[in-house]
């Protein structure tokens, strides 16, 4: 529902989230503050009571928000590591097949070059829209059929062939992990909990009784901006292939430039 946020820049996204939180907090203060002060009455210890409750609530919500932020960042790092492992294994396969005799060698190299080109130019842009195209799997399947059909004639060729197959299996595992992570993200129900928790946390600021309204606005504004920044961080790190803070095909481009140049 909210994938459109990944089509705008980080600065605009951060400003939008913080503005929503700030507007919600200040609107509540402006509209509900008189009614809340009348409802709470002139009780001298009302601020202490609200402060204790806010502190207790803040511990639980802050702990949950921190854990969600850490988990989101860890998922991002795991996907990034999976892509790096995929590229490393593919580079190793390319070096292995470069030891095969002709014309098998050129055929294998062309398979890998075409796959890398496809990933960079076609598959990755599709990932950024949450789509998993089938072209990459088709190309790898064709390469696998040719690779497994090779019959070594010498001991050296047999050793190289075994190593190439081993690296190919490592590559397949990493590629599967990358494809599975294209559509993964925080569960929708968890986003509801985070959003409702933020709204309740900011609403508690309305309960304070501060005679200087300008001070009340400043303090509530600081808290709401911080909550907005935390929500922005989680949203930007969620869905690792979307948005400005996303995993790029730079590793593939580097391998393509440095290793897979046609002779």
Residue 63 φ then ψ, to 5°: -65, -45
Q: Which string of DSSP letters, residue by residue, matches 204-261? A: GGGG---S-HHHHHHHHHHHHHHHHHHHHHHHHHSSTTSSSSS--THHHHHHHHHT--
Q: Which domain holds residue 216?
A: 3-258
Q: CA 170, CA 174: separation in Å to the nearest integer?
A: 6
Residue 99 C-alpha from the chain's centroid? 38
Residue 50 φ then ψ, to 5°: -65, -40
| Residue 41 confidence (pLDDT) | 60
Three-class DSSP category at 186 = coil
Is 263 within a domain? no
Q: CA 117, CA 261: separation in Å to the nearest integer?
A: 12
| Residue 261 confidence (pLDDT) | 62
Q: CA 37, CA 33: separation in Å to the nearest integer?
A: 6
68: left (phi over 0), alpha (psi -120 to 50) or beta: alpha
Is 114 within a domain? yes
Q: What tokens were used for 125?
A: 């842009």
Is 239 within a domain? yes
| Residue 49 confidence (pLDDT) | 65
Is 66 within a domain? yes
| Residue 2 confidence (pLDDT) | 66
| Residue 117 confidence (pLDDT) | 92
Cβ neighbors of 105 (< 8 A, separation 6 or more) are 97, 98, 99
Q: CA 201, CA 93: separation in Å to the nearest integer?
A: 53
| Residue 172 confidence (pLDDT) | 94
State if pTM tops 0.75.
yes
Q: How many domains does the chain have?
A: 1
Q: Are 18 and 232 in contact (CB under 8 A)?
A: yes
In 3D, which of 261, 184, 216, 182 has the Cα closest to residue 37? 216
Cβ neighbors of 234 (< 8 A, separation 6 or more) are 65, 68, 69, 72, 186, 194
Q: CA 124, CA 133: separation in Å to the nearest integer?
A: 9
Is 8 within a domain? yes
Cβ neighbors of 10 (< 8 A, separation 6 or more) are 236, 243, 244, 245
Mean pLDDT by 10 residues, the chain (263 residues): 70 86 86 71 60 75 87 90 92 91 91 93 90 91 92 90 93 91 85 88 78 80 89 88 86 84 55
């Amino acid at each position: 529902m909210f994938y459109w946020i990944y089509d705008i820049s980080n600065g605009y996204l951060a400003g939008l989230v913080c503005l929503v939180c700030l507007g919600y907090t200040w609107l509540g203060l402006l509209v509900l503050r008189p009614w809340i002060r009348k409802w709470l009455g002139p009780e001298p210890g009302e601020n202490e009571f609200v402060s204790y409750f806010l502190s207790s609530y803040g511990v639980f919500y802050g702990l949950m928000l921190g854990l969600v932020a850490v988990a989101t960042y860890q998922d991002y790092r795991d996907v990034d590591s999976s892509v790096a492992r995929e590229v490393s294994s593919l580079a190793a396969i390319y070096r292995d097949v470069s030891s095969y005799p002709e014309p098998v060698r050129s055929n294998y190299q062309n398979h890998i070059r075409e796959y890398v080109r496809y990933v960079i130019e076609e598959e990755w842009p599709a990932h950024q829209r949450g789509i998993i195209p089938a072209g990459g799997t088709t190309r790898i399947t064709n390469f696998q059929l040719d690779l497994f059909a090779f019959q070594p004639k010498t001991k050296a060729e047999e050793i190289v062939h075994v190593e190439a197959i081993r690296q190919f299996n490592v590559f397949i595992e990493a590629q599967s992990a990358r494809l599975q992570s294209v559509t993964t993200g925080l569960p929708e129900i968890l986003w509801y909990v985070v959003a409702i928790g933020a709204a309740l946390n900011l609403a508690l600021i309305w309960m304070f009784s501060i005679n200087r309204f300008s001070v009340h606005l400043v303090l509530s504004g600081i808290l709401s901006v911080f909550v907005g920044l935390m929500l922005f961080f989680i949203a930007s790190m969620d869905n690792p292939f979307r948005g400005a803070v996303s995993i790029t095909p730079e590793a593939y481009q580097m391998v393509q430039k440095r290793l897979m140049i046609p002779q």
